[in-house]
Structure 1
Amino acid sequence: MKRVLIISSNRLGDAILSSGLNNYFKEKYKDSQITFVCGEIPYDLFRYCKNIDTIVPFKKRRYSFHWLILFIKIFFKSWEEVIDLRGSIISFFLFTKKRKIFRKNKQRSIHKVEEITTNITGKLVEPKINILKINFKNKFRGKKVVCICPTANWAPKIWPEENFHELIKKISIKSKFKNHIFVLIGPKSEEYKIKGLLSLKDKKIFNMFGKFSLVEIFLFLKECKLFIGNDSGLMHLAALANVRTVGLFGPSSIEKYHPWGKKTLHISGDKSPDDLMGHKNFDFKQEDCLMEDLKVDYVLKKIIKFYR
């Protein structure tokens, strides 16, 4: 048996974009056993992955104590290959025949999928995940669902909630969206960010914040007609689920993080990330929205053309 260790990202988006590596190394060694290390959030998805034999959740602790806990869990084994996508020093102290440590490409601005997978394998490896069968009852099954993800983990890249509501109102009267409903998804911890949107009484809008686990969101997305959301891990999950995916961008890099796949669309305003954050006094801890230049009518026009 050939043991392969993959130390993946703490973030959901990056873990998804590099997910094809699990299948790649599973096929590379027919008798392989894949051990996958990831953050707590992606753990809820990847623990159902068929190509992963052992999964180790990476929970951050004070004083970087989590690295010591991880080291104890993986040190006393002999590995065929160690793949470290975090570029950590821990990989240098493991017993392995081959060691590949990801280093960011500072010379070219390329998509994360290409940057990570070509760095590790020498070729492009598409994101991919095969989920084990689980008992998931989709209450919206059979309905034409537009999934809306109006939040993100950083306030500057969240499109204003009033824009989402205006978009829903305008899009719902279009002939292409006749009989469609709009389902809001996201983690319960981010529900407070859209209190205004959730307070609106609209029979076509359903709030499912915190009602699904991450793997259930993935299965739910597979049955949706369209996804519209900010640049986030759930946007990448939608693209992975092969649903038509529209990603709204502001301060984050489209080149690096646009939704991956043929059935995707990214929309941004006139201002580039450098225009929004390039000045020397920019504070990354700020909570101000940086997507005010992305207008509702422009987004609507793009979506109508995309949704066929």
Structure 2
Amino acid sequence: MSQPKPQVLFISADRIGDAIMSIGAIREIGRQIPDAEITVAVGPPAAALFRAAPNVVKVIPWKKQKLSGHWRTLWKQAVGTHWAMVADVRGSVMSFFLKADQRRLYSRKLEKGEMKVVTFSNMMKAAKTAEPEIFLDDKARADAAAIIGTDPSPILAMAPISTAADRSWPADRWAELTQKLMNEPRFDGWRFMPVGGPGDHAAAAPALAVAGDRGIDAVGKCDILGSAALLQRATLFVGNDSGLMHVSAAAGTPTLGLFGPSEWWHKAPYGPKGRVLAAAPVRGEFAPITALSVDQVFAEVLALYDTFARSGR
């Protein structure tokens, strides 16, 4: 009679960006506990990121409830299992009381000024950095193909939104940037693809209007894994400090992140193809994202092109 496989509970983040920065835990769990079956509890916006992840047998889209009712809901689903490991990026009290052979819990003590990807890796006691990764499936690829179509032209993807207004570069500047890029010889024949969720149409509309028939409207057209497939198809990406910025970097697309009053030194797009343009480029200082001019962003997009697209990716 075969032995039951070890069960692991991974409590991920509510937001897409944090979920991506900690998603390397999936591979790391497999390295530390071979043959583990992983249950992921994650905020609904990020849930699709895990549906095709290796060894994930269950995804709990964990919606916040009043009076911390979401914790009680998760407790009821988790308390009856003896877990080989509980890995919790939220560092919740609940994780101390579940039956578990090993615990990997987030704590402020882990924060030592490093990038959050590194901090999450240290939480997992990983031997090396647990790098973000995108796990695509056929549905995500099909969703992306339906939006992009058969035109083989290179694509500049854009994320003109963020979860906070003070992290969002103004919509009219995205339109100005698009116009400048369309007039730039380097981008002859390129298409321009704003990506976002169902509520992001207003932020993307000015850029799409400027792009005209060279625009691809990918706003609110698919879930986050479909958006990841879109970004993997893109040649370059520029966007606000947002979950989509982290998705783009994890997908391997050369990524320029625009930062205003947020900690770019912790949350820069991770990997060798990630670049940052910060309104306050000195670590520890902050400035509004509106301090970034169209000319500054345009110049950094050209630099991204020259580094990664001039002779192909």
SS in 2 for 1:266: strand
TM-score (structure 1 length as normaliser): 0.89
Q: Report matched runs for 1:122-201 at 5 Å.
A: 122-123=126-127, 124-134=129-139, 135-136=142-143, 137-140=145-148, 141=150, 142-198=152-208, 200=210
Q: Which residue of 2 aligns with 1:203?
A: 213
Q: Which amino acid aligns with 2:299?
A: K
Q: Which residue of 1 aligns with 2:311?
A: none
Q: CA deviation at 1:248?
A: 0.5
Cα distance in 2, alignment partners of residues 268 and 158 from structure 1: 12
Q: Which amino acid aligns with 2:136?
A: I
Q: CA deviation at 1:133?
A: 2.8
The question of whether the paired residues in 2 share the 8 Å contact of 1:252 and 1:273 is answered with no
TM-score (structure 2 length as normaliser): 0.88
Q: Paired residue for 2:64, among 52, 60, 66?
A: 60
Q: Which residue of 2 aligns with 1:286?
A: none
Q: Which amino acid aligns with 2:138?
A: K
Change in Cα spacing, 1:49 to 1:220, as seen in structure 2 (3 Å) is same
Cα distance in 1, alignment partners of residues 281 and 270 from structure 2: 22
Cα distance in 1, alignment partners of residues 291 and 126 from structure 2: 39
Cα distance in 2, alignment partners of residues 299 and 213 from structure 1: 28
Which structure dedicates a bigger proportion of its chain to helix? 2
Q: Which runs of 5+ in 1 are unaligned?
A: 278-289
SS in 2 for 1:202: helix
Q: Which amino acid aligns with 1:304?
A: L
1:260-302 CA-partner distances (Å, limit 9, x unpaired): 111121111247686547xxxxxxxxxxxx2121111112112
Q: Which residue of 2 aligns with 1:70?
A: 74
Q: CA deviation at 1:193?
A: 3.9
Change in Cα spacing, 1:51 to 1:33, as seen in structure 2 (3 Å) is closer
Q: CA deviation at 1:108?
A: 2.7
- For this pair of structures, how many residues does the alignment match? 296
Q: Paired residue for 1:293, among 281, 291, 294?
A: 291
Q: Which residue of 2 aligns with 1:219?
A: 229
Cα distance in 1, alignment partners of residues 126 and 134 from structure 2: 20
Q: Paired residue for 1:262, among 262, 266, 272?
A: 272
2:262 is aligned with 1:252: yes
The question of whether the paired residues in 2 share the 8 Å contact of 1:250 and 1:272 is answered with no
2:116 is aligned with 1:112: yes
The question of whether the paired residues in 2 share the 8 Å contact of 1:143 and 1:180 is answered with yes
Cα distance in 2, alignment partners of residues 56 and 270 from structure 1: 38
CA-based RMSD of the aligned residues comes to 2.0
SS in 1 for 2:95: helix
Change in Cα spacing, 1:121 to 1:166, as seen in structure 2 (3 Å) is same
Q: Which residue of 1 aligns with 2:107?
A: 103
1:77-132 CA-partner distances (Å, limit 9, x unpaired): 01111111101011111111112211124763210000111122143211123333
Q: Which amino acid aligns with 2:249?
A: A
Q: Which runs of 5+ in 2 are unaligned?
A: 307-313
Q: Which amino acid aligns with 1:37?
A: A
Of the structure 1 ranges 59-68 and 106-115, higher mean CA displacement relative to structure 2 is found in: 106-115
